[in-house]
Amino acid sequence: MHDTKLKEAIEFVADLIAGSKRCVVFTGAGISTESGIPDFRSPGGIWSKYNPTEFTYQKFLASKENRRLRWQMIKETTAMFQAQPNTAHKAIAELENISRLDCVITQNIDNLHQAAGNKCVIELHGNALWIYCLDCDAHFPRSEIQARLEAGEEIPDCSHCGGMLKLATVSFGEPMPVKETEEAAQRSSRADVFIVIGSSLVVHPAAMMPVYAKQAGGTLVIINMSPTPHDKYADVIIRMKAGEVIPAIVERVKQKIAQ
């Protein structure tokens, strides 16, 4: 992006946020690439190693072999979730501190918004740091189950009731969490400023949130490295790395509200 144009865009977005009543930030895998977690569609990412169609919810429930493979994948990817929040996550947490954020709606499962300090985080696709029992709903930290996997268990079961364990993320083919999806849709429709960061906006129904915001009269900002199918609804598009542009925007917001 041309420097003058970028400066204007940063100024415009900072003005929007400073004057907002209900600013909603909506994030996808792109905000965490600078923390070292590969996004969904990049070559060399986890999905070029594992075939996503093998990991549907239905197949997980139906076949022991599939569960074995899934747990093997979980075992191999645990280290990835020890990532730390980057400057973009931290800047968004700062927006909450200065009362310029209604909530973060995220498609990410990496817990990095909470790690950065955000309190109001709506997770549309669950959280990869937890494992839970499909029978008794007991929850276990992933690190605890990881230790069992590394000790040789191939398909760990619930230590309370012997039930089937599953990663607390929404799998392909699994219904979306009702409460989170409804709350996200509601807050999107009420947002006066809605900022998409690092999402290709192709995974539904999550990708509808910016459309709800726009339809209800909100101003839509998209900060993403590549084009999305919803760019036509955006009032501003910034094609830059989140970690470079979000801190600059939040810095300007702070200066503006201090004036």
> Which residues contact Zn ion (rule: CB under 5 A)?
133, 135-136, 138, 158, 160-161, 163
Helix, strand, or coil (residue 111): coil
Q: Which stretch binds ligand NAD (CB under 6 A): 37-45, 145-153, 175-183, 229-237?
A: 37-45
Selection from 101, 168, 178 nearest residue 134 by Cα? 168
Query: Taking CB under 6 A as the rule, does residue 85 contact ligand NAD?
Result: no
Among this protein's residues, is 125 annotated catalytic?
yes
Residue with nearest beta carbon to ligand NAD: 30
* Closest distance to Zn ion from the beta carbon of 40 (Å): 31
Selection from 28, 14, 27 nearest residue 193 by Cα? 14
Query: Taking CB under 6 A as the rule, does residue 146 contact ligand NAD?
Result: no
- Return d(Cα 207, Cα 203) in angstroms, integer: 6
C-beta closer to ligand NAD: residue 158 or 195? 195
C-beta closer to ligand NAD: residue 30 or 156? 30
C-beta closer to Zn ion: residue 135 or 231? 135
Answer for the pair 204, 34: CB distance below 8 angstroms, yes or no. Answer: no
C-beta closer to Zn ion: residue 8 or 153? 153
* Closest distance to Zn ion from the beta carbon of 70 (Å): 18
Give, in order, the Cα–Cα distances in Å from 253 to each of 19, 82, 101, 120.
9, 31, 12, 20
Q: Which long-range contacts (CB under 8 A, 24 or more apart) does 75-79 make?
A: 75/146, 75/149, 75/150, 77/46, 78/142, 78/143, 78/146
**What residues from 103 to 122 belong to the interface with ligand NAD (CB under 6 A)?**
107-110
Q: Which residues are catalytic?
A: 125
- Give the residues lining the site for ligand NAD (CB under 6 A): 28-30, 32-34, 37, 39-41, 107-110, 125, 198-200, 202-203, 224-226, 241-243
